[in-house]
Structure 1
Amino acid sequence: MIDPANLIAIVLMASVTYLTRIGGYVVLRNRTLGRRATAVMEAAPGCVLISVIAPDFVSKNPADLAALAITLLAATRLSMLPTVVIGVASSGVLRWLMG
Protein backbone atom coordinates (compact mmCIF):
# COMPACT_ATOMS: atom_id res chain seq x y z
CA MET A 1 0.00 0.00 0.00
CA ILE A 2 1.32 3.42 -0.90
CA ASP A 3 2.00 5.85 1.91
CA PRO A 4 -0.57 8.72 1.87
CA ALA A 5 2.20 11.33 2.10
CA ASN A 6 3.88 9.85 -0.99
CA LEU A 7 0.59 9.78 -2.86
CA ILE A 8 -0.09 13.42 -2.00
CA ALA A 9 3.43 14.37 -3.14
CA ILE A 10 2.98 12.53 -6.45
CA VAL A 11 -0.40 14.17 -7.09
CA LEU A 12 0.94 17.63 -6.24
CA MET A 13 4.02 17.18 -8.45
CA ALA A 14 1.84 16.00 -11.34
CA SER A 15 -0.49 18.97 -10.84
CA VAL A 16 2.33 21.49 -10.82
CA THR A 17 3.86 19.90 -13.92
CA TYR A 18 0.53 20.04 -15.72
CA LEU A 19 -0.11 23.64 -14.65
CA THR A 20 3.30 24.79 -15.90
CA ARG A 21 2.67 23.09 -19.24
CA ILE A 22 -0.81 24.54 -19.67
CA GLY A 23 0.33 27.91 -18.29
CA GLY A 24 2.55 28.50 -21.30
CA TYR A 25 -0.36 28.01 -23.66
CA VAL A 26 -2.58 30.33 -21.61
CA VAL A 27 0.04 33.09 -21.43
CA LEU A 28 1.04 32.86 -25.11
CA ARG A 29 -2.33 32.05 -26.68
CA ASN A 30 -2.87 35.48 -28.29
CA ARG A 31 0.73 36.18 -29.25
CA THR A 32 2.74 35.48 -32.35
CA LEU A 33 6.26 34.36 -31.55
CA GLY A 34 9.23 35.39 -33.61
CA ARG A 35 11.69 32.94 -35.16
CA ARG A 36 14.11 33.22 -32.27
CA ALA A 37 11.47 32.68 -29.57
CA THR A 38 10.03 29.74 -31.52
CA ALA A 39 13.49 28.15 -31.74
CA VAL A 40 13.97 28.53 -27.98
CA MET A 41 10.57 27.01 -27.25
CA GLU A 42 11.28 24.04 -29.53
CA ALA A 43 14.72 23.41 -28.00
CA ALA A 44 13.58 23.53 -24.37
CA PRO A 45 12.31 19.90 -24.05
CA GLY A 46 15.62 18.56 -25.35
CA CYS A 47 17.54 20.74 -22.90
CA VAL A 48 15.48 19.46 -20.00
CA LEU A 49 16.05 15.85 -21.05
CA ILE A 50 19.80 16.41 -21.30
CA SER A 51 19.90 18.02 -17.85
CA VAL A 52 18.17 14.96 -16.41
CA ILE A 53 20.41 12.34 -18.03
CA ALA A 54 23.74 14.25 -17.97
CA PRO A 55 24.76 13.00 -14.48
CA ASP A 56 24.60 9.43 -15.80
CA PHE A 57 27.53 10.17 -18.10
CA VAL A 58 29.82 10.11 -15.05
CA SER A 59 28.04 7.32 -13.17
CA LYS A 60 29.95 4.25 -12.06
CA ASN A 61 26.76 2.17 -11.88
CA PRO A 62 26.68 -0.27 -14.83
CA ALA A 63 22.86 -0.22 -14.90
CA ASP A 64 22.84 3.58 -15.32
CA LEU A 65 25.47 3.44 -18.06
CA ALA A 66 23.57 0.73 -19.95
CA ALA A 67 20.30 2.66 -19.62
CA LEU A 68 22.07 5.77 -20.88
CA ALA A 69 23.33 3.91 -23.94
CA ILE A 70 19.83 2.57 -24.65
CA THR A 71 18.34 6.04 -24.24
CA LEU A 72 20.90 7.63 -26.55
CA LEU A 73 20.24 4.97 -29.18
CA ALA A 74 16.49 5.59 -28.89
CA ALA A 75 17.05 9.35 -29.18
CA THR A 76 18.79 8.91 -32.52
CA ARG A 77 15.84 7.01 -33.97
CA LEU A 78 12.66 8.12 -32.17
CA SER A 79 10.84 11.28 -31.13
CA MET A 80 10.93 12.75 -27.62
CA LEU A 81 8.08 10.86 -25.92
CA PRO A 82 9.12 7.32 -26.91
CA THR A 83 12.71 8.17 -26.03
CA VAL A 84 11.72 9.30 -22.53
CA VAL A 85 9.54 6.22 -22.00
CA ILE A 86 12.31 3.90 -23.18
CA GLY A 87 14.87 5.69 -21.02
CA VAL A 88 12.80 5.51 -17.86
CA ALA A 89 11.75 1.90 -18.47
CA SER A 90 15.26 0.69 -19.30
CA SER A 91 16.68 2.47 -16.27
CA GLY A 92 14.11 0.91 -13.96
CA VAL A 93 14.45 -2.58 -15.38
CA LEU A 94 18.25 -2.52 -15.47
CA ARG A 95 18.48 -1.18 -11.92
CA TRP A 96 16.14 -3.92 -10.79
CA LEU A 97 18.09 -6.62 -12.63
CA MET A 98 21.62 -5.39 -11.95
CA GLY A 99 21.09 -3.83 -8.55
Structure 2
Amino acid sequence: MTILTILLMAFVTYCTRIGGYWLLNGRHISLRTAKVMEVAPGCVLVAVLAPDFASGKGADLLALAVTALAATRCSLLVTVLVGVGSGWLLRQVIPF
Protein backbone atom coordinates (compact mmCIF):
# COMPACT_ATOMS: atom_id res chain seq x y z
CA MET A 1 0.00 0.00 0.00
CA THR A 2 2.87 2.38 0.79
CA ILE A 3 4.47 1.85 -2.61
CA LEU A 4 1.14 2.47 -4.34
CA THR A 5 0.69 5.70 -2.37
CA ILE A 6 4.17 6.90 -3.30
CA LEU A 7 3.62 6.06 -6.97
CA LEU A 8 0.28 7.86 -7.02
CA MET A 9 1.81 10.92 -5.32
CA ALA A 10 4.60 10.93 -7.90
CA PHE A 11 2.05 10.67 -10.71
CA VAL A 12 -0.05 13.53 -9.37
CA THR A 13 3.06 15.65 -8.89
CA TYR A 14 4.13 14.91 -12.45
CA CYS A 15 0.66 15.80 -13.76
CA THR A 16 0.68 19.15 -11.96
CA ARG A 17 4.11 19.98 -13.34
CA ILE A 18 3.36 18.97 -16.91
CA GLY A 19 -0.07 20.60 -16.63
CA GLY A 20 1.56 23.93 -15.85
CA TYR A 21 3.81 23.66 -18.88
CA TRP A 22 0.83 22.65 -21.03
CA LEU A 23 -1.35 25.54 -19.82
CA LEU A 24 1.39 28.16 -20.13
CA ASN A 25 2.91 26.92 -23.37
CA GLY A 26 3.36 29.83 -25.75
CA ARG A 27 2.15 32.45 -23.26
CA HIS A 28 4.21 35.29 -21.93
CA ILE A 29 4.49 35.39 -18.13
CA SER A 30 5.90 38.19 -16.04
CA LEU A 31 9.23 37.93 -14.29
CA ARG A 32 7.47 37.96 -10.93
CA THR A 33 5.23 35.03 -11.92
CA ALA A 34 8.26 33.11 -13.16
CA LYS A 35 10.05 33.63 -9.83
CA VAL A 36 7.00 32.45 -7.88
CA MET A 37 6.82 29.34 -10.02
CA GLU A 38 10.51 28.62 -9.41
CA VAL A 39 10.14 28.59 -5.62
CA ALA A 40 6.81 26.75 -5.50
CA PRO A 41 8.34 23.22 -5.41
CA GLY A 42 10.37 24.16 -2.34
CA CYS A 43 7.28 25.55 -0.63
CA VAL A 44 5.37 22.34 -1.31
CA LEU A 45 8.25 20.31 0.08
CA VAL A 46 8.25 22.36 3.26
CA ALA A 47 4.47 21.98 3.62
CA VAL A 48 4.75 18.21 3.32
CA LEU A 49 7.68 17.84 5.71
CA ALA A 50 6.84 20.48 8.34
CA PRO A 51 4.55 18.26 10.46
CA ASP A 52 7.43 15.82 11.04
CA PHE A 53 9.63 18.62 12.34
CA ALA A 54 6.91 19.82 14.68
CA SER A 55 7.18 16.49 16.50
CA GLY A 56 9.93 17.89 18.72
CA LYS A 57 12.24 14.91 18.14
CA GLY A 58 15.87 15.88 18.45
CA ALA A 59 16.97 14.05 15.30
CA ASP A 60 14.29 15.72 13.20
CA LEU A 61 15.05 19.18 14.54
CA LEU A 62 18.77 18.73 13.94
CA ALA A 63 18.06 17.49 10.40
CA LEU A 64 15.94 20.59 9.85
CA ALA A 65 18.85 22.80 10.91
CA VAL A 66 21.26 20.95 8.60
CA THR A 67 18.79 21.22 5.72
CA ALA A 68 18.20 24.92 6.33
CA LEU A 69 21.94 25.51 6.26
CA ALA A 70 22.24 23.55 3.01
CA ALA A 71 19.38 25.58 1.52
CA THR A 72 21.34 28.79 2.02
CA ARG A 73 24.32 27.43 0.11
CA CYS A 74 23.14 24.78 -2.36
CA SER A 75 20.68 24.16 -5.17
CA LEU A 76 17.23 22.70 -4.51
CA LEU A 77 18.24 19.18 -5.55
CA VAL A 78 21.30 19.16 -3.29
CA THR A 79 19.22 20.60 -0.43
CA VAL A 80 16.62 17.84 -0.79
CA LEU A 81 19.33 15.17 -0.84
CA VAL A 82 21.01 16.68 2.22
CA GLY A 83 17.66 16.88 4.01
CA VAL A 84 16.69 13.29 3.29
CA GLY A 85 20.17 11.98 4.04
CA SER A 86 20.63 13.91 7.26
CA GLY A 87 17.13 12.99 8.41
CA TRP A 88 17.78 9.31 7.87
CA LEU A 89 21.26 9.35 9.39
CA LEU A 90 20.32 11.36 12.44
CA ARG A 91 17.29 9.15 13.14
CA GLN A 92 19.67 6.18 13.17
CA VAL A 93 22.14 7.87 15.51
CA ILE A 94 19.86 9.86 17.83
CA PRO A 95 17.10 7.68 19.27
CA PHE A 96 14.94 10.49 20.67
Shorter-chain TM-score bucket reads: 0.7 to 0.9
1:49/1:8 CA distance change after superposition, 3 Å? closer
1:9-51 CA distances to partner (integer Å, 9 max, x unpaired)? Answer: 2221211111111111111111110123223212323322443
Gaps of 5+ in 2: none
Q: Structure 1 residue 79 and structure 2 residue 75: aligned?
A: yes
Alpha-carbon offset, residue 59 of structure 1: 4.2
Alpha-carbon offset, residue 54 of structure 1: 4.2
| Matching residue within 65, 69, 74 for 2:65 | 69
2 CA distance for matches of 1:9 and 1:59? 23
Gaps of 5+ in 1: none
- Which protein shows a greater Rg? 1
2 CA distance for matches of 1:15 and 1:53? 19
The answer for the alignment partner of 2:29 in structure 1 is: 33
- CA-atom RMSD in angstroms: 1.9
Query: Equivalent pairs: percent with the same residue?
Result: 53
1:14/1:76 CA distance change after superposition, 3 Å? same
1:65-87 CA distances to partner (integer Å, 9 max, x unpaired)? Answer: 11011101111110111101110
Report how many aligned residue pairs link the two structures. 94
TM-score, normalised by the number of residues in structure 2:
0.80
1:1-99 alignment, distance < 5 Å:
5-55=1-51, 56=53, 58-99=54-95
What is the identity, as a one-letter code, of the residue corresponding to 1:80?
L
Alpha-carbon offset, residue 53 of structure 1: 4.7
TM-score, normalised by the number of residues in structure 1:
0.78
